[in-house]
Amino acid sequence: MYYNFNHYINLGANLEKDGCSFAIYAKNVNSLSLNIFHSSEDTVPYEKHILSPSEHKLGDIWSIFLENIKEGTLYNWEINGMAILDPYALAYTGNETIENKKSIVLARVGTETKHILIPKKDMIIYESHIGLFTKSSSSNTLNGATYSAFEEKIPYLKNLGINVVEFLPIFEWDDFTGNLDRESFFLKNVWGYNPINFFALTKKYSSSKDENSANEINEFKKLIFSLHKNGIEVILDVVYNHTAEGGTGGKVYNFKAMGENIFYTKDRENYFTNFSGCGNTLNCNHKVVKDMIIQSLLYWYLEVGVDGFRFDLAPVLGRDSNNQWARHSLLHELIEHPILSHAKLIAESWDLGGYFVGAMPSGWCEWNGAYRDTVRQFIRGDFGQVPELIKRIFGSVDIFHANKNGYQSSINFICCHDGFTMWDLVSYNLKHNILNGENNQDGENNNHSYNHGEEGFTENPHIISLRKQQIKNMILILYISQGIPMLLMGDEMGRTQLGNNNAYCQDNPTTWVDWDRKKDFEDVFLFTKNMINLRKSYSIFKKETPLIEGEEVILHGIKLYQPDLSFHSLSIAFQLKDIKSNTDFYIAFNSYTEQLCFELPILENKSWYILTDTSKVDTCNFQETKCQDTHCCVLPKSSVILISK
C-alpha cells in the first residue's frame, strides 16, 4: 500500500492542484464516510465516500483524496452514522442547527499585514466585544455589530490612546449554553465562550448575508490590517478549556464522536470533569489535542495576523489527563515555541480547580485578580488595603517575583467583561441578574462595589458627581501602575449593564455600548484620554527594571516620609522621579470621608503644579495650575497628581 503521508499529516481539507485531500483523527470507530453537498440546506449528500481501514487509514488518521474538488465545496464527516463538523475547517455555513451546518473547503491564504511588535511596557489594552461595541444605532456605523463596523471605530480608539484591542471570542460557537433550556428563555450566548471549533471564524459579525461563503475571513483580515495600519495590535480571547459539546447528554459536534476519552478528561467513574464550569474539560495535554491547539494558534497568528492571545481559564492548559497540575505542559511549550513565544501570551490564571495567579510558567503575562480586588476595596473605603495597594501599584512583585517579564507580568484591570462595568461598580451594592433566567444565582456575589447612596439609577447630582469621581480615581490608579493596563470597553463613557454582572446571555441594549452616554460622561472620557497620554509620555509609569526606592519612588503620608500603613489607613502618597525627563510627580489618594492635607516635598529650582484633581471637573483637561502652598489638600474620595516644573 502506497501512502501520500502529507494527506495524513495535514488534517482538515487541503486543496491541491488537481483536487483536495480530507483527513480527520478518529479513534475506535466502526464506520466513517465523507459527504459532499450542493447546499447547506441539503440533508442528503450528492456524493458519499465510504472510507475503508485498509485503504484510507494510517494509525488513527483517516484520509481520502478527491479529484475536482474546488474552493467553496460543502462537506461533513459521518462517524458511526452520525454527521459531524470537521474540527479543522476554516469556515462553516451559517446554519444554526448541527443537522444543516456544513464545513466549507477553503484554500489556505496568508495575510498582508505584519505584526507591530509593541513592547509590553507600552501596551494600552482595550477589552472589547466586536458585536456589542457597535450594535446600538447610537454607534452611527453603516452596518452595526460587524467586523467592518468595528473598523469604523478605529479613529475613536486612536483618539482615546488605545494601542491594543483584546477581542472576546470569535471562534464559531453554539448560541445556546448552560444547564437551563436557553431556547425557552429566548436567551443566547453573546460572549462566545462556547466554541465548536478552534479555526473557524464566526459568521455572526459578518457583513455578508451569504450563508455558504467565507466572506467573514477577508472582512476580519481587513479589520486587522486597518488596526495595524493605525498602530493598534489585536489580541484574541481564546477558549481552549472546553467546547460546546458539554458533558453527558450534551450535543455532539465533532470531538465526542472522534474520541470522547481522547479530547476530554474524565474522572474515575468515567464522568466528564468540569474545571471549566461548562460541562466538560478539554484534554489539552494529550498529544492529539495539544497539536490541534498549537496548529490553531499558528493559524491565527501567521495566516490571519493577530498579535497575541488571552487564554480563558488557562490552568486547564496546564493540567494532565488526570487533571493534575503538570510539571511540563502546553503552558510551557507555548512559552518555548519558536514562533508562538513571540506572540503576546496572556493567562486568566484560574479555573474551577484552583487559583494560579503568579504560578504560570515564566514569560506569561497574567490577569491580576489581586490588583482588581485591592483597587476596588481601597476606592470603596475598606480598611487594611493601603499596604496591598502599594504592592499592586508598584508591579505586584510579591506575586510575579519569579517571572522574567518583571512588571509586565501583571495585566492590571479593575473591570472586564465578566462582572460589573465600572459605572455599575460605583452604582450597585448587589448584582441584578434576574433576566439571565437563573433566579439571580449566577454571577459573582463578592464585587467590592458600592452604590454611594442609591441603588442603580439616580437623578441626585451629588451621587452622580461622586460616582464619576470614583471612576476617575480608579482610572488614575490604573494608568500610573506598573504593569500592563487593560480597560473594559465603554468604561471611559460610563457604560452600564443595569447591575447585571454576568450578562453573557443578553444581546440587547443591556450589553450594547450606548454611544450617547459619551455626552454625559465627556469629563470621564477626557480624563481617561489624558491619563493614557500621561502614561505614554513618561517612562516612570512603565518601567522595565525595578523602581529604585528612595531615588525613583518615595512613599509619603500626610507628613513627608511617613506613610500610614496601619489597618485603618485610607490614604497614601508617593513621589515619583522620571529620570529621563527630570520630572517629579507627587500623587496622593484619599479614600476617607474627610479632607486631608498632605505636606509637599521641597523641590530645587522648581515648583509643584496641580496636573489633575479628581474632585474638580475643570482639571480633566490636565491644564497645569501652580500650587501656592506647602501642602496639598485632597478632598474626600479623591486623588491628585502634581507635576514639577
CB 36 within 8 A of CB 44: no
Q: Residue type for 166, please?
A: E
Bridge partners for 574 per DSSP: 555, 587
Closest by CA to 464, choosing from 488, 494, 492, is: 494
Sheet of 19-25: strand order equals 12-16, 19-25, 61-67, 57-58
Q: Residue type for 432, please?
A: H
Closest by CA to 448, choosing from 542, 383, 505, is: 383
- The most distant pair of C-alpha atoms in the chain lies apart, rounded to whole Å, by 91
Angle, helices 369-380 vs 461-480, to 10°: value is 140
Closest by CA to 90, choosing from 151, 11, 147, is: 11
Q: Residue type for 74, please?
A: L
- Distance separating alpha carbons of residues 126 and 237, to the nearest angstrom: 12
With cell 480597560, the residue in question is 487
Helix (H) or strand (E) holding 486, with range, is strand 484-488
Cell numbers standing for residue 211: 450563508
CB 46 within 8 A of CB 36: yes
Q: How far is CA 143 from CA 140, 422, 517, in A?
A: 9, 28, 20
Q: What is the phi/psi pair of residue 486, to 5°?
A: -130, 130
Look up residue 302 and give its DSSP letter: I
- The CA dihedral of 309, 311, 314, 320, to the nearest 10 degrees, is -70
> What DSSP string runs through 180-191?
S-HHHHT----S
Which of helix, strand or coil describes residue 509? coil
Which residues have a catalytic role annotated?
312, 348
- Distance separating alpha carbons of residues 530 and 458, to the nearest angstrom: 28
With cell 481501514, the residue in question is 53
- Distance separating alpha carbons of residues 26 and 79, to the nearest angstrom: 8
- Distance separating alpha carbons of residues 629 and 95, to the nearest angstrom: 69
Closest by CA to 347, choosing from 328, 334, 337, 132, is: 334
Closest by CA to 389, choosing from 565, 513, 187, 639, is: 565
- Distance separating alpha carbons of residues 103 and 88, to the nearest angstrom: 9
What count of Cα atoms within 13 Å lies in the side-chain half-sphere of residue 169? 27
- Distance separating alpha carbons of residues 511 and 497, to the nearest angstrom: 6
- Distance separating alpha carbons of residues 174 and 416, to the nearest angstrom: 22
Angle, helices 461-480 vs 522-537, to 10°: value is 20
